[in-house]
Homo-oligomer: A and B are copies of this chain.
Amino acid sequence: MRTILILTKDHREYRAIIEAELPDISIITEPTEECEIVLGSPSLISKELVKLPKLKWAQSTWAGVEPLLGPALRRDYVLTNARGVFGGLMSEFVFGYLLAHERKIFALAQAQQEKEWKRFITGTLRFKTIGLLGVGSIGAEVARTAKFFGMNVRGYTRSSEDCEYVDDYFHTLPPLPLGCVPARVEGRGEGLLYFANNLDYLISILPNTKETRKIVDANLLSALPPHCIFINVGRGSAVDEFALIEALEKDKLAGAVLDVFEHEPLPKEHPFWTTKNLQMTFHTSAPSFPEDIAKVFIENYRLYVEGKPLKYQVDFEKGY
């Protein structure tokens, strides 16, 4: 009988789902010396790592695993994250806010409060251009939804071009002349500015890595047209906060929806709370529903028992 340690506030839901699917296991909620398998949130797992000398596999209930990447922490186990489950939820979030913007739902609510029959001219998503910073499994689902609504889709990636719903790809490095083998070039190059040109919506779905740090800076923001809306559902570290505030306050950008921040919860004195045309959503864009995450865990558990490679393994160096 194998033992599974569950470290999340939703441990009761996880226990019920997993026990129904996997007979012949024992579930615990406190670390033991013998424990090899843990399912939980990265923040809770990171606190217990020292009490798990025999740990072989940790399944994160989140997509982001920053708390487990600290340089002082062990990396002698397989870390898998939750992938393939957030795309639909994040996509609903992104399109909820894009449609709210196009259909002016806050302005309409305001008019109702003032008892004014106001027939606003409202917009549509059709034929608009959306740019995705990062096209992993979540970005691919956002791209698929954008195509459903008749939009043009641009993707900005390190080098991958594997999503069929992206019309045009842009990369960290500019395209190379045929036959040219480059030395590793640092920097984001001009690809990012071509990507930004005339975007109606910019969506960041980037993880927190060295390469994505403050990629949304004054330079990128000034390349966007002033009617553009920026949405960040990736990580707060991708944004130069002061450059974003300046762009919004000076109407160089029409609006921003931020779900993630460098420091969460956002401190009360942070200027974002009252920045012009900035909406914040407190890291709610993709709730981890236990029934979704448990499925990922159960699938991986079966591979683990058979000694096969697990799905969604995190590269500790890359950070995702």
Contacts and interface: CB of A to CB of B under 8 A. Distances in A.
Interface of A: 88-89, 92-93, 95-97, 99-100, 102-103, 105-106, 108-109, 111-112, 115, 117-122, 124-126, 145, 148-150, 264-266, 268, 273, 279-284, 287
Contacts of A264: 117
B92 A282 contact: no
A99 B115 CA distance: 25
Contact of A102 (B96, B103, B266): B96
Contacts of A125: 92
A265 B117 contact: yes
B92 A99 contact: yes
Contact of A119 (B115, B145, B148, B284): B284
Contacts of A89: 124
Contacts of A112: 273, 279-280
Contact of A148 (B124, B148, B268): B148
A72 to B, nearest CB: 28
A-B complex: 6 closest residue pairs judged by Cβ atoms: A96-B99, A117-B265, A96-B103, A108-B281, A115-B273, A119-B282
Contacts of A283: 119
Contact of A100 (B100, B111, B117, B287): B100
Contacts of A105: 96-97, 100, 105, 281
25 contacts: A92-B99, A92-B102, A92-B125, A92-B149, A95-B99, A96-B99, A96-B102, A96-B103, A96-B105, A99-B99, A100-B105, A103-B284, A105-B105, A106-B109, A108-B279, A108-B281, A108-B282, A108-B284, A112-B273, A117-B264, A117-B265, A117-B266, A117-B282, A119-B284, A121-B287
Contacts of A96: 96, 99-100, 102-103, 105
Contacts of A268: 115
Given A119-B282, A282-B108, A103 B99 contact: no
Contacts of A117: 264-266, 282
Nearest to A103: B96
Given A115-B273, A265-B117, A284-B119, A92 B279 contact: no
A99 to B, nearest CB: 3
B273 A88 contact: no
Given A105-B97, A268-B115, A92 B273 contact: no
Contact of A88 (B118, B119, B126): B126
Contacts of A148: 145, 148
A252 to B, nearest CB: 22
A103 to B, nearest CB: 5
A19 to B, nearest CB: 23
Contacts of A88: 124, 126, 149-150
Nearest to A269: B115
